[in-house]
Amino acid sequence: MSLSFLVICLAGLGLYSFFFGRHRIRAISRQSELKQHSQDTYHGSFLLICTTLLPLFILIIWSSFSPLILNAMLRSKLDILAGPLSVGEMGVQLAQAKALYAGIINPAFVGDSVKQAAAYYGELVSMSNTARAVLVLSAAVAGIGYGARLLDVRFRARHRVESFAKWLMILASAIAVLTTIGIILSLIFESLRFFDKVSLSEFLFGLQWSPQIAIREDQAGGSGSFGAVPLFAGTLMITLVAMLVAVPVGLMSAIYLSEYASPRLRNIAKPTIEVLAGIPTVVYGFFAALVLAPLLRNGGNDIGLTVSSESALAAGLVMGIMIIPFISSLSDDVINAVPQNLRDGAAGLGATQSETIRQVVLPAALPGIVSAILLAISRAIGETMIVVMAAGVAANLTANPFESVTTVTVQIVMLLVGDQEFDSVKTLAAFALGLVLFFITLGLNVLALYVVNKYREQYD
Amino acid sequence: MTDVTTPEQLAKAKRAANLAKRYRSERRFRAFGMAAVLTAMGILGFLMTSIVYSSIPAFTHHHLTLDVVVDESRVELMVDDNNQTSVDGNWLGLVRASLRAHFPEVTSRRDKRKLYGLLSIGAGDGLAQMVNDTPSLIGQTVQIDVPLSDDVDLLIKGLIDRTLPEQDRLISDLELSWLDKLTADGLVHRAFAWALFNNGDSREAEMAGLKGAFVGSLLTIFVTLLVSFPLGVLAAIYLQEMAPKNRLTALIEVNTNNLAAVPSIVFGLLGLAVFISFFQMPRSAPLVGGLVLALMTLPTIIIATRASLASVPPSIRQAAMALGASRIQVIMHHVLPLAMPGILTGTIIGLAQAAGETAPLLMIGMMAFIVDTPTDVTAKATVLPAQIYMWANNPERAFVARTSAGIVVLLSFLLTINALAIILRKRFEKRW
């Protein structure tokens, strides 16, 4: 029985149990003289939970783990059928057997062992699906039976349903934590395997990054090198360029809009600037790579500069544009939070408006602004599409923004895009870079929070 | 003794000069602010204009009107078990033959190949469709518009300069002369490029369309919505309304806020390690993409929902409790319905963000070259931003306009979603 049909069956049973429960409690209640504890709907909902909870659990667990088990069984079957296989051959044959079962490849192109394995796999899949359907449906029916016997006038259905709802909510809030744990564990786990092969100090302090590892041992250009310093330097340079654009423009427009602008201009300009934040990054990437980079290159040629067509400048400028609304709206909030009587006091002492802003408002808002800038830096470091499209791939260690540099995120994408063995050093290197990225951005966020909490003035 | 300046006068003059300086600095500061606002708005204008401008060529394409003889000997009518007829044939060959009929002087193999190069590789598709719809056309002559190749199209649109010397041009003098003859005969005309919306991806710019990616995006967003909305709302209700204030809930709160700031590419790594590598879910599937984006959108929805719940005044809760409602009844019957417009607005904005996201989807393989439109959430698919990324990487010139057109479609899609959120907020939002 296919998954979607099973889900529909289960939903149908659930719906039935709800109405059945409601109907049944009414019948019981009519014959009883006691006052009914919970409303009819709660009895129906209770029965619905009894019917669907366990089957759903079984369904999810079975569907998540059965591919793993089936895969392992297919692997051992192939071992028997085709004799001992190397890791690469095994991968190929596994994929072939599955593709043959799915009908994607022509049976004429594969060997006999793969055909037998595919047939075996087909049997396994149908057996697993049947077992799943039987288990799920019988659990549902048993659930109805169990729940229906509990229904009674004095049965506290509402309490049961509400405590179930509460546990569901707790579970949902735990998902966010589980995601973080999942991120940290998967990154650390894969990174540890990477650091088995490449030492931590080589990764963090090495100056040479060329991850192109030979596929076979004997191929020329044998081992790659994984010194990530050029990537960190490239990321830093692009982030620096981005900040040089975003901080002045973002901050000044926030100041102008909150201190000088008429309400009309503010109502037009603020949403317009925020549109910049809603544009997908792939659009910025396109703009950087196909509009700005040629402009910069030609402009550079005209004044006698050699600007690479994948220069750090183009990527950084466009990233700066992307970050402008981030800085301006966060700064706008903190500037607006500075109480008006500080401004009035400064004006009363004879300060001009710009003196008030520079000497009173900005110092008061400084912790918030610094934290906004830190968050913006974290955003810039983690930004991917702009640099993937506009920055280079080659890891140059240079301080010249007209040259091409590469970043951490670009390398993660380059290492992982395309099919390859999950265990290769290249793939693992991407996770190590991801780990660095995660902790740097996390650190910046925590720092931003700390700055705000520690230095914020309370004006109430 | 007229020009003697008293100390008072000196001080006054100094003050005046000082004041003028301070006013100048005031004006300068103000001008900087104005310049910053104008810069930001100007950049947005430039970005939009340049993209829309470069997308214009992709919305039209030049076609050639040909009279094609549907030769019985070159097509085959087939009837399958369900009595459905289908016609198979060398459609491109038929179209090419009819083009050659206009140029009987072309005989050498090389020239013929060049002549056929004027037409798109997909020039036979329209004919195939037409004859399959009405098999009675077999043996007759039909008039049909077939797409020209992308280079020819660019040349007619003036995007390839025909005055360049021959060796610098993608189109040779010979091809140019054929094209001029066809144009002079009135056979070439411009039409709306339906292929952009009706086709899947293709290696040929003129045949490449966004349909597959659009459907892929919808499927992915659907999965994201299905997972992140219930989880996000339930989590937010618990954290905002029910959770005791203790260390654990404080941890969850800090963690949620931090998760919102984790780079999207890290979520892609999570998806790769957990969903694809561990759970062996299919690569390139909207299911996995949707799950990854759901985890990414979750913090946004939780934060928006909490803000929305917090804005419902406590008097509503107190009134419901005074009438004997349980805590969950208060929330489900009173607070949640009142907070719903805000929750939906936040969700829609989160989903719009997810719809424009590319990086995590690259990690899980949602940028494969996929021609077919995906039909379910486990089929191989790509999404609009990933399609744009792939087209942007294509070196062929016609793909630049195609990419811009893809961006215009994506931005219109996001604009529609966001407009929905704004309407929802304007219509249903209550101010207390």
Q: What are phi and psi of B164, to 5 degrees?
A: -65, 155
Within a domain: B150: yes
User: Do the chains contact at A358 and B302, CB–CB below 8 Å?
Assistant: no
Lookup: tokens for B145: 């518009």
User: Do the chains contact at B269 and A273, CB–CB below 8 Å?
Assistant: no
Nearest CA to CA, how far is A309 from chain B (Å)?
Answer: 14
User: Do the chains contact at A250 and B388, CB–CB below 8 Å?
Assistant: no
Nearest residue of A to residue B45, measured between CA atoms? A272
User: Does residue B174 sit in the same domain as residue B315?
Assistant: no
Q: What are phi and psi of B365, to 5 degrees?
A: 80, 20
Burial B77-107 (b: 16+ CB within 10 A, else e): eeeeeeeeeebebebbebbbbbbeebeeebe
Nearest CA to CA, how far is A391 from chain B (Å)?
Answer: 13
Q: Could you report the predicted ipTM of this complex, rounded to two decimals?
A: 0.90
Who's near B58: CB < 8 A, 6+ residues apart? B193, B196, B398, B401, B402, B404, B405
| CB interface of B with A, residues 75-94, below 8 Å | none
Rounded Cα distance between A50 and A149, Å, is: 11
Lookup: tokens for B275: 């969903």
Who's near B343: CB < 8 A, 6+ residues apart? B233, B236, B301, B304, B305, B308, B309, B336
User: Does residue B263 sit in the same domain as residue B222?
Assistant: yes
Strands B141-147 and B85-89 turn out to be unpaired
| CB interface of A with B, residues 71-130, below 8 Å | 71
Nearest CA to CA, how far is A252 from chain B (Å)?
Answer: 5
- The three-class DSSP label of residue B79 is strand
Rounded Cα distance between A168 and B131, Å, is: 57
Q: What are phi and psi of B366, to 5 degrees?
A: -85, 40
Lookup: tokens for A403: 């040259």
User: Do the chains contact at B298 and A175, CB–CB below 8 Å?
Assistant: yes
CA distances from B380 to A385, B214, B281 (A): 22, 13, 12
In angstroms, the first-to-last Cα distance of chain B is 74
User: Does residue B256 sit in the same domain as residue B368?
Assistant: yes
User: Do the chains contact at A430 and B269, CB–CB below 8 Å?
Assistant: yes
CA A162 to chain centre: 32
Rounded Cα distance between B408 and B296, Å, is: 25
User: Do the chains contact at A179 and B270, CB–CB below 8 Å?
Assistant: yes
Whether chain B has a CB inside 8 Å of the CB on A281: the answer is yes
Number of alpha carbons in the 13 Å side-chain half-sphere of residue B300: 22
Nearest residue of A to residue B408, measured between CA atoms? A283
Q: What is the DSSP letter of B373?
A: P
Rounded Cα distance between B408 and A279, Å, is: 11
* Angle at the Cα of A213 from the Cα atoms of A209 and A218, rounded to 5 degrees: 140
Within a domain: B286: yes
Alpha helices of A198-309 — where are they, by DSSP H? Answer: 200-205, 229-255, 263-278, 281-286, 293-302
In angstroms, the first-to-last Cα distance of chain A is 65
Provide DSSP, B202-217. -SSGGG--SHHHHHHH
Q: How many helices (H) and strands (E) does chain A have?
A: 17, 2
Who's near B134: CB < 8 A, 6+ residues apart? none
Q: Which domain holds residue B121?
A: 60-192
User: Does residue B165 sit in the same domain as residue B307?
Assistant: no
Q: Identify the pLDDT of residue A1.
A: 65
User: Do the chains contact at B298 and A285, CB–CB below 8 Å?
Assistant: no
User: Does residue B165 sit in the same domain as residue B225?
Assistant: no
User: What residues of chain B score a pLDDT lower than 50?
Assistant: none
Who's near A447: CB < 8 A, 6+ residues apart? A374
Rounded Cα distance between B427 and B432, Å, is: 15
Rounded Cα distance between B325 and B334, Å, is: 10
| CB interface of A with B, residues 334-353, below 8 Å | 352-353
Interval B29-39: pLDDT, tens: 999 999 999 99
Element (H, E) at B188: strand B188-192
| CB interface of B with A, residues 311-350, below 8 Å | 326-328
Nearest residue of A to residue B384, measured between CA atoms? A282
User: Does residue B248 sit in the same domain as residue B352?
Assistant: yes
* CA-CA-CA-CA torsion sign (A22, A27, A28, A31): positive
Nearest CA to CA, how far is B74 from chain A (Å)?
Answer: 27
Query: Which of A165, A172, A431 comes nearest B231 by C-beta?
Result: A172
Whether chain A has a CB inside 8 Å of the CB on B18: the answer is no
User: Does residue B215 sit in the same domain as residue B359?
Assistant: yes
Within a domain: B14: no
Q: Identify the pLDDT of residue A220.
A: 45
Chain B positions in Cβ-Cβ contact with residue A415 (cut-off 8 Å): none
User: Does residue B188 sit in the same domain as residue B228?
Assistant: no
Query: Which of B47, B265, B414 comes nearest A287 by C-beta?
Result: B47
Do A179 and B298 touch, CB atoms closer than 8 A? Answer: yes
Rounded Cα distance between B91 and B121, Å, is: 11
User: Do the chains contact at B40 and A276, CB–CB below 8 Å?
Assistant: yes
User: Do the chains contact at B269 and A434, CB–CB below 8 Å?
Assistant: yes
User: Does residue B126 sit in the same domain as residue B86?
Assistant: yes
Do A186 and B270 touch, CB atoms closer than 8 A? Answer: yes
Q: Identify the pLDDT of residue A268.
A: 92
Other CB atoms within 10 A of residue A69 CB: 12
Whether chain A has a CB inside 8 Å of the CB on B39: the answer is yes
CA distances from A111 to A70, A116, A117 (A): 21, 9, 10
Whether chain B has a CB inside 8 Å of the CB on A170: the answer is yes
Nearest CA to CA, how far is A424 from chain B (Å)?
Answer: 13
User: How does pLDDT run along chain A (460 residues), one tens digit per residue?
Assistant: 678 889 999 999 999 999 999 999 999 988 888 888 888 899 999 999 999 999 999 999 998 888 888 888 888 888 888 777 777 777 788 888 888 887 777 777 777 888 888 888 889 989 999 999 999 999 999 999 999 898 888 899 999 999 999 999 999 999 888 999 999 999 999 999 999 888 888 888 888 888 765 555 544 444 578 888 999 999 999 999 999 999 999 999 999 999 999 999 999 999 899 899 999 999 999 999 988 999 999 998 888 888 888 889 999 999 999 999 999 999 999 999 999 999 999 999 999 999 999 999 999 999 999 999 999 999 999 999 999 999 888 888 888 888 889 999 999 998 888 655 666 788 888 999 999 999 999 999 999 989 988 887 766 5
CA distances from B266 to A84, A316, A418, A425, B270 (A): 37, 21, 18, 18, 6
Return the CATH fold of A225-455: MetI-like fold (1.10.3720)
Q: Identify the pLDDT of residue B28.
A: 95
Element (H, E) at B145: strand B141-147
User: Do the chains contact at B362 and A357, CB–CB below 8 Å?
Assistant: no
Query: Which of A282, A355, A441 comes nearest B389 by C-beta?
Result: A282
- The three-class DSSP label of residue A250 is helix
**A·B CB contacts under 8 A:** 260
Interval B210-259: pLDDT, tens: 999 999 999 999 999 999 999 999 999 999 998 888 888 888 888 888 89
CA distances from A369 to A250, A448, B36, B228, B409 (A): 11, 10, 17, 32, 36
Interval B178-196: pLDDT, tens: 888 888 888 888 889 888 8
User: Does residue B164 sit in the same domain as residue B281?
Assistant: no
Whether chain B has a CB inside 8 Å of the CB on A291: the answer is yes
Do A329 and A276 touch, CB atoms closer than 8 A? Answer: no
User: Do the chains contact at A179 and B259, CB–CB below 8 Å?
Assistant: yes
Do B367 and B389 touch, CB atoms closer than 8 A? Answer: yes
Q: Which of B192, B223, B248 is the last residue of a domain?
A: B192
Rounded Cα distance between B37 and A256, Å, is: 8
Query: Which of B29, B43, B280 comes nearest A354 by C-beta?
Result: B29
User: Do the chains contact at A321 and B43, CB–CB below 8 Å?
Assistant: yes
Lookup: tokens for B327: 């805590």
Counting other chains too, the contacts that A310-314 makes at CB distance below 8 Å and 24 or more residues apart are A310/A390, A310/A391, A310/A392, A310/A404, A311/A401, A311/A402, A311/A403, A311/A404, A312/A234, A312/A237, A312/A238, A312/A241, A312/A391, A312/A401, A312/A402, A312/A403, A312/A404, A312/A405, A313/A241, A313/A401, A313/A402, A314/A288, A314/A289, A314/A390
- The three-class DSSP label of residue B426 is helix
CA distances from A329 to A266, A376, A392 (A): 12, 11, 31
Each domain of chain A, given as residue ranges in start order, spans 3-155, 158-197, 225-455
CA B212 to chain centre: 12
* CA-CA-CA-CA torsion sign (A75, A78, A79, A85): negative
Lookup: tokens for B328: 């969950």
User: Does residue B124 sit in the same domain as residue B271?
Assistant: no
Label residue A87 exposed, middle or buried (CB < 10 Å: 0-12, 13-18, 19+).
Answer: exposed
> Per the structure, how many domains does chain B have?
2
Q: What are phi and psi of A199, to 5 degrees?
A: -75, 150
Q: What is the DSSP letter of A458?
A: P
Nearest residue of B to residue A352, measured between CA atoms? B26
Whether chain B has a CB inside 8 Å of the CB on A271: the answer is no
Rounded Cα distance between B396 and A431, Å, is: 33
Rounded Cα distance between A234 and B263, Å, is: 17
Lookup: tokens for B258: 């931090």
User: Do the chains contact at A172 and B235, CB–CB below 8 Å?
Assistant: yes
User: Do the chains contact at B356 and A279, CB–CB below 8 Å?
Assistant: yes
Chain B positions in Cβ-Cβ contact with residue A162 (cut-off 8 Å): 326-328
Rounded Cα distance between B278 and A331, Å, is: 43
Chain A positions in Cβ-Cβ contact with residue B386 (cut-off 8 Å): 282
Nearest residue of A to residue B354, measured between CA atoms? A280
User: Does residue B188 sit in the same domain as residue B218?
Assistant: no
Rounded Cα distance between B25 and B20, Å, is: 9
Residue pointed to by tokens 């970050």: A323
Nearest to A204 by CA among A412, A441, A432, A395: A432
